[in-house]
Amino acid sequence: MSTSSSLFQKDLLIEALKQSFIKLDPRLMFRNPVMFTVEIGTAVMLYVCIWVLLGEPSQVSFIYNTAIFLILFFTLLFANFAEALAEARGKSQAESLRKTREETPAKKNFSVGKSHNHQMEIIPSSQLRKGDMFYCEAGDIIPADGEIIEGLATIDESAITGESAPVIREAGGDKSSVTGGTKVLSDTITVKVTTEQGESFLDKMIALVEGASRQKTPNEIALTILLAGFTLVFLIVTVTLQPFADFAHAPVTIGALISLFVCLIPTTIGGLLSAIGIAGMDRALRANVITKSGKAVETAGDIDVLLLDKTGTITIGNRKATHFYPAEGIDNAHFIHSVVLSSLADETPEGKSIIELAKVNPRDYRINNAQFIKFTAETRSSGIDIDNRRIRKGAVDAIKMLCEKAGNPFPTETANTVNQISNNGGTPLVVSENEKILGVIELQDIIKPGIGERFQRLRKMGIKTVMVTGDNPLTAKFIAEKAGVDDFIAEAKPEDKMNYIKKEQANGRLVAMMGDGTNDAPALAQADVGVAMNSGTQAAKEAGNMVDLDNDPTKLIEIVEIGKQLLMTRGTLTTFSIANDVAKYFAIIPALFIVAVPSLQGLNIMKLHSPESAILSAIIFNAVIIPFLIPLALKGVAYKPIGAEALLRRNLLIYGLGGIIIPFIGIKIIDLFVSQCI
């Protein structure tokens, strides 16, 4: 997926410019009350221009009215251009996704089993239906979204995620989901289709990035209603000015009244509002996060509590062996030799780390006539039988029970070592030989570098972080303190997550969490923001309102920042737009009545050249400020985790005070040029 940050690519500009004119259709403009009234004003000014051309003397000159008409027309175009440019960026991404969704042959299966190679039919992917099964081997493009029901494969997902590194997907567990358009690099899999035609992941992505399925968020709707209210108020204000003008014997032209109206209503935020919303979803997409609605992105900005899995989020995900503790009376070399033998067939990261810690070459170990014992959930141990030696390594209670059953005691010093390791947040693995304790291996979860700083950043945002883990409370507490999270849920079961979320929501807080398994689905559905892994099960992806294409558990932190940036951008530009009205008021009101009421000269603090130049300067500034703010609307206001109050003060200073000062300067500069042309 393209992540180009360029806002003004040539092809996007051309498309946006074309759409700017198409969007002038009143049926489309009607959705934006502020800009719709500007369009009505523009149409009225076109009528006035024709009226003056036909000889009407009361409306000043034809050139003056034409200038007002053109400026208002360009105001509409600039507002449409902002929205069209945001949509064009989405459509360019959709086009690249469409190339991925090309018609693909599918090897449809009619049975599941080892003989499926001989019972399949090659059909177009468009003929696949939910519940169908298909077969893929190395080199095949996966024709549809589904769940792997048999096999394991390495898959290239770069067409969807932009990440070139292949990933492993396998039947069962939480890594079984595959996406249509990705490519199988090795091995073979049998997949069950989980979506109907037109409802695939790619179809939804295309609809979202094109803006076709974008709905206004509740906050956006509320702001639209507020802006419509402002517009109605200023419409009444403008209409009632005419009787006052007649009373004061100060004739006011239609062009002046419409200019006043357009300048006083919040046209800046009205023109940029849609672009801000589209850009928010676009930023999420560029972070490889697919949102089911803009509401999810917006809600992420208001999150109070963040639930994070320990494994893969706070810790690297694979525990590493960090220390060997031989039991009393056991030679260290003999202990290490036994540990290595028991780990030779252990393909887990923990097993490999044991050999790495031992600093030996496994090839030096003779394992003729050996029988490897695989780990099972029942025994909770693994090992090797070789040369009349039964070496086992596993959980403390499993090995303890094994030895005590054979009549051998569990040494006190070994028990103390186990407690010490647990108290330090580690996981002890006990090793035995012929049902006698040899010693203990210490495994430690390696906390990700910089994760503590990220949690500190979240704390500054006012967000409570909660670690979710299956570890015992002692280990969980140690890791939680070391990582810097605010709370933890130890020995977590699906219902524990649900209950925690409900408890926080009952206290008026918004909760976000991430998950990938079917057992996470209830909690993902309950959370205000549920982020599912793209590699996760279909149930998880359907329950959440976001999907992370990168399968990165820490992405939740980035999503929160994107949401906050969206809310800040909308708020700051609204503040700037309303603040602008102050300067435009001081420009136009004196211009309307200064001749009839000379005492209003005191309000002409900018010392503008004439009533006509003042009005033209104000509406020119009103028009040109919109394109100047387009990059800010699309990129978003920079977010800094400095607390809500500090952020409010900062934004009021920059966009509130700045929104008052900049128009004064801008209108005065424009007036100097306009006065030379009148």
Residues annotated as catalytic (active site), given as ranges: 309
Contacts of 384 (CB under 8 A, 6+ apart): 341, 342, 344, 345, 367, 370, 371, 372, 373, 391
Which of these, 3, 179, 166, lies nearest to 534 by C-alpha position? 179
DSSP per-residue codes, 616-661: HHHHHHHHHHHHHHHHHHHH-PPP--S-HHHHHHHHIIIIIIHHHH
What distances in angstroms separate CA 427 from CA 296, 413, 507, one per listed residue? Answer: 38, 17, 35
Which of these, 468, 477, 528, 479, lies nearest to 307 by C-alpha position? 468
Residue 138: DSSP 8-state: T
Parallel/antiparallel/unpaired status of strands 305-309 and 464-468 = parallel
Cα–Cα distance between 168 and 191 in angstroms, integer? 14
Tokens 């360019």 — which residue?
A: 92
- 37-41: long-range contacts at Cβ-Cβ below 8 A with a sequence spacing of 24 or more? 37/231, 37/235, 37/261, 37/265, 38/72, 38/75, 38/76, 38/79, 38/262, 38/265, 38/267, 38/270, 39/76, 41/72, 41/258, 41/261, 41/262
Yes or no: say if 100 and 160 are a contact pair by the CB < 8 Å rule.
Answer: yes
Cα–Cα distance between 425 and 185 in angstroms, integer? 39
Cα–Cα distance between 570 and 574 in angstroms, integer? 6
Yes or no: say if 329 and 436 are a contact pair by the CB < 8 Å rule.
Answer: no
Contacts of 547 (CB under 8 A, 6+ apart): 201, 289, 290, 531, 532, 533, 534, 541
Tokens 């059953």 — which residue?
A: 405
Cα–Cα distance between 612 and 256 in angstroms, integer? 8
Angle, alpha carbons 106-112-118 (nearest 5°): 65
Query: 246 burial class (0-12, 13-18, 19+ CB within 10 angstroms)?
Result: exposed
Instruction: State the DSSP H helix or E strand holding residue 136, giving kind and residue range, or none if neither.
Output: strand 133-136
Query: 466 burial class (0-12, 13-18, 19+ CB within 10 angstroms)?
Result: buried
What distances in angstroms separate CA 399 from CA 303, 430, 440, one per listed residue? Answer: 45, 6, 11
Angle, alpha carbons 583-585-588 (nearest 5°): 110
